[in-house]
Structure 1
Amino acid sequence: MLYSNKINSECLPGRIDDVIDRTLADKRLVGAVIKVAIDGVLVYSRAAGLADREMNLHMQEDDLFRLASVTKPIVSTAALVLVAQGRLQLDDRVDHWLPEFRPRLQNGEFATLTIRHLMTHTAGLSYGFLQEEDGSYQRAGVSDGMDQSGITLEENLRRLASVQLLYTPGTEWKYSIATDVLGAVIAKVTETSLSEAIHSLVTKPLGMNDTCFIAVNPARLTTAYANAFPEPRPLHDPDSVAFVENTAGFRLAPGRAFDGTAYPSGGAGMVGSAGDFLQLLETLRKGGAPLLPESLVREMTTNQIGDLPMAFWPGRGFGLGITLLKNPVAADTPESPGTWRMGGTYGHSWFVDPKQRLSVVAFTNTALEGMSGQFTIDLCEAVYERIKK
């Protein structure tokens, strides 16, 4: 059976509608906003389900979401803008910019950490939610950037630096709080707050007016839910959501999105809309202008970690702030090699397939189904379903 090598965009809306309608009927999601662009044209855009089930508020296309790790590519792009401006170098030592951030190796020696280590998640760090209950980060009081910690970014980094690194930088890959450290570097380089830096470097030039570290319009912020049976449950404030077995899981405070005093987490702290984020993805897919030269986008989207294994993402490598598909068979995906993909704890997934000139943003208000549940698989398969020759 032969198929065309192009996405069947003519039938695409119906296929995606079927996935969304089935997922909502199964009560695996409460609401979602899905946007798909092919060749720079918006070919699908739909708000479905409810922004707030208890209030019977229907989802709107410009509704706001707690971005969690969707924050990472935004902050990583800001760092690369500074590289493009000559104000930061990928191989700069982190302690050049943050003299107090000097974590030690397990032998007690100070580690040599670079900006590249931070952006490739090879810095020897982790996340508290990935450690066991009462792990080293939890004992040190380190925040993952999604709870209501009541501390400053500087204090969180002080606590993080007090914990020995898990491995020598550059020798392993572990998803981590490294982008929070990168955010602190960006603030130091720009001599302003991280929020102001992201605004001037990324969101203002692209007209991403919905994207900030607090909700720009609280009335448009969707209510957060978590997987439960027979239907998702509203998240409390604070709350916790289990992740994989033998890990502490996520500590979440949905109210953080309203709190201007919460520290700006470069890895998990922003709020924004699906349309805004699609604008960033399409800017990068098209070559980076007006933010970045094409050469830096190529570096961002080229595997930087060799054959280091990546937990949770078989068949993928890592660039500067995003995963990259190396082996579709190992990843069990119809995406083209070179596809970029990540997600966010509160219920988001996104991917860019440069070969197909395709960008997909799927923001939901349901953790963790919208990030890593069957919905993400069904959506991807619907997008890539081929027409017979």
Structure 2
Amino acid sequence: MKTQIDAVIERAIMAGKIVGTVVIVIKDGETVYSRAAGYADREVGKPAETRTIFRLASVTKPLVAATALALVDKGRLSLSDLARDYLPYFRPKRPDGEVADITIHHLLTHTAGLSYGADPKTTPPERMFNAGLADTDFDFEENFSRLSTFPLLAAPGTLWSYSIAIDILGAVIAQIEASSLDEAVRHHVTEPLGMKDTGFSLSDPERLATPYADASPSAIRMGDRHLVPDNDGNMLTFAPTRLFNPKAFQSGGAGMVGTAPDLIAFLEAVRRGGAPVLKDETAKAALLNQIGNIPRLGEPGQGFSFLGGVIQDTVLAEVPMSRGSITWGGVYGHSWFIDPVEGISAAIMSNTAVEGCLGAYPRDIARAIYDA
């Protein structure tokens, strides 16, 4: 395994596709691979280390989702609760004009009918909302009340659409806990798991990786506001400095930072039954498809769990993982998966968007893990 993964890492770095990376693989509870390579900051020659802290982007989502599930386990939240009962300002309408009944289950599974942005060319500034990556001075209410001015893509429970839903869930959690989202995630998830470097603020600024973006012939350093195209041709607005803005709402979908050792600790906790964060039955449910037969357009062979995508057909999904594996990533440059059948958890992190999340790099690492 080591030779195969090393070859993928070295090829990606030499080609300028990846600047810095940390990869950790655990099988049956034992660490079988752990390596940091490349640069945390290329321009000053600072090497990536296992302890390097990355902006997590959507790797934030499963941590916030697990916080919500922990509240369900404690009887403080129900999957059938309506989001508007906690957030009176959040009242988006169905396509037929009626206020939608959006539940916690809908938010967790991205079946609320929400989207991930509004077209700035056709949307007045006073209606634009922040999706968690760009900088903002909005708080939860200012941001999410604006969603009430947009019709949903579909009635809740009828369409899977990747969206700002986990940001809404984060606001619900903060309301229930009467605290910041950071404090809630720390109390219910990261502190019990010893994830000391994961949160909405930095434990050690000196260890923060510099973010880079795809470019030719090699990745370039991000500016304070950087536009990067994703695989669908959409332009993503990155604002690395958002992390340091105390006025920006804590984005449950994209706002945390963390390390590969912290992430693998979380993945292993879920794989091994959830303790000390979740009940065993809750952790098992978190690994199952939760959207029934609702298709994930553009993602054949995959359903969706409470934490990420679920592999239902390995041939259609074109992945080496077993059926029943769950996987997701973070657009700043990360990918992860849990394979319950093979007993594997993998954290594949980098400081290079979007290659480290949506490019060949994480796919090649996954294949190397299984080809060994």
Task: Tell me if both proteins adopt one fold, taking TM over 0.5 as the criterion.
Answer: yes
**Residues 235 and 138 of structure 1: CA distance in aligned 2, closer, same or farther (over 3 Å):** farther
Q: Which of 132, 135, 143 does residue 145 from structure 1 map onto?
A: 132
Which structure 2 residues correspond to residues 88-107 of structure 1 after superposition, within 5 A? 88-107=77-96
Mapped pair 1:368 → 2:334: no
Q: Which of 174, 187, 198 does residue 211 from structure 1 map onto?
A: 198
Counterparts of 1:115 and 1:197 in 2: how far apart (Å)? 17
Give the gaps of 5 or more residues in structure 2: none
Mapped pair 1:198 → 2:192: no
Q: Number of aligned pairs?
A: 372
Counterparts of 2:342 and 2:9 in 1: how far apart (Å)? 22
Q: 1:218–1:258: 8 Å Cα contact kept in structure 2?
A: no
The structural deviation recorded for 1:136 is 5.1
1:64 match = 53
Once the two structures are superposed, what CA deviation does each residue of 1:130-158 show, in whole Å capped at 9, x if it has no partner?
x6563659772111101111211221111
Once the two structures are superposed, what CA deviation does each residue of 1:30-83 show, in whole Å capped at 9, x if it has no partner?
010000001111111111000001111011110100000000000000000000
Q: 2:138–2:247: 8 Å Cα contact kept in structure 1?
A: no
Give the gaps of 5 or more residues in structure 1: 1-11
2:318 match = 332
Q: 1:203–1:209: 8 Å Cα contact kept in structure 2?
A: yes
The structural deviation recorded for 1:235 is 0.7
Q: Percent identity?
A: 44
Mapped pair 1:29 → 2:22: no
Aligned letter for 1:145?
G
1:305 match = 291
Counterparts of 1:139 and 1:243 in 2: how far apart (Å)? 26
Aligned letter for 1:355?
V
What is the root-mean-square deviation of aligned Cα atoms in Å? 1.4
Counterparts of 1:47 and 1:213 in 2: how far apart (Å)? 23
Counterparts of 1:261 and 1:207 in 2: how far apart (Å)? 27
Q: 2:120–2:128: 8 Å Cα contact kept in structure 1?
A: no
2:274 match = 288
Counterparts of 2:123 and 2:188 in 1: how far apart (Å)? 34
Q: 1:123–1:168: 8 Å Cα contact kept in structure 2?
A: yes
**Residues 245 and 37 of structure 1: CA distance in aligned 2, closer, same or farther (over 3 Å):** closer
Once the two structures are superposed, what CA deviation does each residue of 1:96-135 show, in whole Å capped at 9, x if it has no partner?
111221111122111111000000100010102xx65636
1:163 match = 150
Mapped pair 1:232 → 2:207: no
The structural deviation recorded for 1:246 is 5.3
**Residues 84 and 135 of structure 1: CA distance in aligned 2, closer, same or farther (over 3 Å):** farther
Secondary structure at the counterpart of residue 31 of structure 2: strand
2:112 match = 123
Once the two structures are superposed, what CA deviation does each residue of 1:159-193 show, in whole Å capped at 9, x if it has no partner?
12221111100000000000000001101111111
The structural deviation recorded for 1:89 is 0.3
1:321 match = 307
Q: 1:29–1:370: 8 Å Cα contact kept in structure 2?
A: yes
Q: 1:124–1:167: 8 Å Cα contact kept in structure 2?
A: yes
Mapped pair 1:114 → 2:114: no
Counterparts of 2:124 and 2:148 in 1: how far apart (Å)? 10
**Residues 27 and 320 of structure 1: CA distance in aligned 2, closer, same or farther (over 3 Å):** same
The structural deviation recorded for 1:371 is 0.3
Aligned letter for 2:300?
P
